[in-house]
Amino acid sequence: MLVDAAVRPEEFPPDFVWGAATASYQIEGAATLGGRTPSIWDTFCAEPGRVVGGDTGDVACDHYHRYGEDVGLMRTLGLAAYRFSVSWSRVLTPSGEVNADGLGFYDRLVDEVLAAGIDPWVTLYHWDLPQHLEDAGGWPARDTAARLAELAAVVGGRLGDRVGHFITLNEPWCAAFLGYGNGIHAPGRHSAADAVAASHHLNLAHGLSVQALRAAAPDALVGTTLNLYPVTAAFPGADSEDAVRRIDGLQNRWFLDPALLGSYPDDVLADLGALVAPTLIQDGDLGTIHQPLDFLGINYYTRHVVRPSAYPGTNAGEFTHRGLPTAANGWEVDPEGLTEILVRVARDYPALPLFITENGSAWDDTVEADGSVVDADRLAYLAAHLAACARAREQGADVAGYFAWSLLDNFEWAEGYAMRFGLVHVDFATQRRTVKASGEWYGRFVRAARDILSP
């Protein structure tokens, strides 16, 4: 599948941020080294049937030992920025003390990234909750929000002299509803009430962590990252439109509104009804969540297409497709949706710089006899979505940067190693890295765009 999209570096401003992204559990490995304790993903992976192939993140890309090589790849690609997350259970012990070895790893990583002329962007929480906190109640427990603020204070205090951008959360919708609602992500719980409670406490953790980061790293810029989807009706009709409203409300507005407007949407509160426990949203919570932000991160992969459920009374709606080409994981390739969501956020919410903090696609990559990986579909996907960013800018959205997902093929959560999103191919048996054709193209594009600074 090839997408015809003409996009030129000249369509982006000289200060546009060009990067790639990863996450700690997906690449680091070294699961028991340096004082790291188990996270919910270690526990989840150990349960038979949870992850495709029984895969785990125990070794992953061995980035813990190979970060120097990986930073060299970033330099080869000409990246201006690198977004990564810290492993909470590597940084803090179960007693809440700082693990010097674990925090020291991120010290070294930041220094290596800076020495390569690349700006580090640090995400505090990318789904790997320490298992001891899950044992104490996890995200459905209010205290977990305060614990993330403690991590923010430690990481901000140690790295804030060199890190200019911090992201509080990555995709809290996934952490709450996939982890505690339908159980396909760690910790694998199945409780609608727990999922709603987790979503509020993640929002609260965001606000508390912004406050902690402002105090610990006053010169840094702080934002959060949400996975946003335009939601489209599969066919016209009042039932379809209500399904769109419900899905959009819980997927998008439930997180955008409290962070950027200081309130939960009334219609979603009504939809959730008794799932919102009387004591869940306490006095002052919305003020805490609604912290001034310096930017908003948006992760985009595809669009939600919904229709009324075929079984009335059981579900508000069902997901379907529009008949577009699909990537290896079944997600439709829909770059127009990226333009739509960017323009909508710019239109409906207070003005902020918008950064695409993840965007990418999985394909069935083939290693050729000469060792190369010619991934034309991923290359076309990147080009089409960069063109979508350019169109959003033309329509008034302040799109200020783009981070490709992902730098490396890695552990893709419940899909294990079955899905490859990387610009760089990883042979997990040997840990050999090979830049794919998409990575070479992205590198040329990035270098051409950065050359605009000094023609």
Q: Which residues are annotated as a binding site for substrate?
A: 26, 126, 170, 301, 405, 412-413
Structure tokens at 257: 């509104």
> What does the radius of gyration of the chain's CA atoms come to, in whole angstroms?
21
Q: Which two tokens stand for residue 429?
A: 């048996």
HSE of 321, CA atoms in CB hemisphere, 13 A: 10
- Round to whole Å and give the CA distance between 252 and 110: 32
Contact between residue 130 and residue 38 where contact means Cβ atoms under 8 Å apart: yes
Whether the CB-CB separation of 261 and 290 falls below 8 Å is answered with: yes
Residue reference for tokens 């306490």: 282
3-state secondary structure of 225: strand
Which has the closest alpha carbon to 221: 390, 355, 111?
355
| Alpha-carbon gap, residue 11 to 6, rounded angstroms | 11
User: How far is it, in rounded angstroms, from Cα 447 to Cα 455?
Assistant: 12
In one-letter notation, the amino acid at residue 338 is L
* Among candidate residues 76, 77, 81, 91, the one with its CA nearest the CA of residue 28: 91
Pairing status of strand 221-227 against strand 231-233: unpaired
Torsion of CA 42, 432, 120, 18, to 10 degrees: -120
Unique residue bearing structure tokens 């080409």: 325
Task: Pull the structure tokens for residue 278.
Answer: 């009387």
Long-range contacts of 235-240 (CB under 8 A, 24+ apart): 235/307, 237/308, 239/308, 240/306, 240/307, 240/308
Beta bridge partners of 21: 83, 405
Residue among 28, 112, 134, 171 flagged as catalytic: 171
Find the angle CA(115)-CA(119)-CA(121) to the nearest 5 degrees. 130
Q: How far apart are alpha carbons 44 and 62 in whole angstroms?
A: 20
What residues are paired with 81 via a beta bridge?
Answer: 19, 119
Catalytic residue status for 440 = no
Catalytic residue among 358, 368, 415, 440: 358
The 8-class DSSP code of residue 302 comes to: -
Annotated active-site residue 134? The verdict is no
Both structure tokens of 397: 């959205």
* Residues of the binding site: 26, 126, 170, 301, 405, 412-413
The DSSP result for 397-429, as a single string, is --EEEEEEE-SB----GGGTTS----SEEEETT
Residues belonging to the active site: 171, 358
